[in-house]
């Protein structure tokens, strides 16, 4: 696998001024760091100003979501074309908060992945089980369903452009984190599933990252696991000091 993939998802936080100030600090502090891929996902309102602040840097821009429609009368939606125009390279799709708070189903997520790829965006495709599903021992079946339905009718070349993020729902914003062993077990399962479903060596071409209360204290042990290629960071990416510690683990 390539260099570690470190993404910060700011969710519904930071004004435009706060986002640009943070971005300027970040790019200065990691200007010489070239052995990992760093991505930040500001709210929609800050995407273009942050893209301007990132010009000439080694940091990439991601959106947090997109519409499954190309354009039209969809009040409040943001299209893939608009995200590309704003300077995005990546887009987060299928985050547990979109699935659970906004009712996004696998078919919608599949449509979003397809339109993102068709527009030149790289999806950060999120999968993960709830606490109830884990306690029912259905984690593996849930992950398999989410991946197979989320990637339905995609070809190998499309799939190679993905980043897959495993984020156990019970660890999102709760302070709870899967143990390194638990995370490794699921990452290894995803890797095997990708090879078995889409062809040998497919998983080796795709970063498989972990999300779920990642912080400066647990980043090193998570990244020491064989099949964890990076992290999707929530709350800890909002503070410059903690995010820098995570990036420089």
DSSP class of 64: S
Q: What one-character-per-residue DSSP string does 140-163 give?
A: HHHHHHHHHHHTTT--HHHHTT-E
| 95 is an active site residue | yes
Burial class (CB in 10 A: 0-12, 13-18, 19+), 163: buried
- Could you say which of 37, 60, 95, 133 is catalytic? 95
| 167 is an active site residue | yes
| Residue 166 contacts residue 205 (beta carbons within 8 Å) | no
- For the record, the structure tokens of 232 come out as 């999707």
- Could you say which of 37, 129, 133, 167 is catalytic? 167
Q: Within 10 A of 133 (CB to CB), how many other CB atoms are there?
A: 18
Q: What one-character-per-residue DSSP string does 75-128 give?
A: TT---HHHHHHHT-SEEEES-HHHHHHS---HHHHHHHHHHHHHTTPEEEEEE-
Tell me the C-alpha to C-alpha distance, in Å, between residue 235 and each of 45, 191, 239: 19, 27, 8
Q: Indicate which residues carry an active-site annotation.
A: 95, 167
């Amino acid at each position: 696998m390539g260099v570690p993939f470190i993404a910060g998802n700011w969710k519904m936080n930071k004004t435009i001024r706060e986002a640009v100030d943070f971005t300027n600090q970040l790019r200065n502090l990691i200007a010489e760091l070239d052995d990992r891929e760093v991505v930040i996902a500001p709210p929609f309102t800050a995407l273009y100003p942050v893209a301007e602040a990132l010009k000439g840097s080694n940091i990439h821009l991601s959106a947090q979501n997109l519409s499954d429609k190309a354009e039209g009368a969809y009040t409040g939606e943001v299209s893939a074309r608009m995200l590309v125009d704003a300077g995005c390279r990546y887009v987060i799709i299928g985050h547990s908060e979109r699935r659970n708070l906004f009712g996004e189903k696998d078919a919608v997520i599949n449509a979003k992945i397809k339109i993102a790829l068709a527009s030149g965006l790289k999806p950060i495709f999120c999968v993960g089980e709830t606490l109830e599903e884990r306690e029912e021992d259905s984690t593996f079946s849930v992950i398999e369903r989410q991946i197979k339905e989320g990637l339905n009718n995609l070809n190998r070349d499309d799939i190679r452009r993905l980043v897959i993020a495993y984020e156990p729902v019970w660890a999102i914003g709760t302070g709870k984190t899967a143990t390194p062993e638990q995370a490794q077990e699921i990452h290894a399962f995803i890797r095997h599933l990708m090879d078995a479903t889409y062809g040998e060596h497919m998983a080796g071409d795709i970063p498989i990252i972990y999300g779920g209360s990642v912080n400066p204290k647990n980043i090193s042990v998570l990244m020491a696991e064989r099949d964890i290629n990076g992290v999707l960071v929530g709350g800890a990416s909002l503070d410059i000091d903690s995010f820098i510690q995570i990036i420089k683990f």
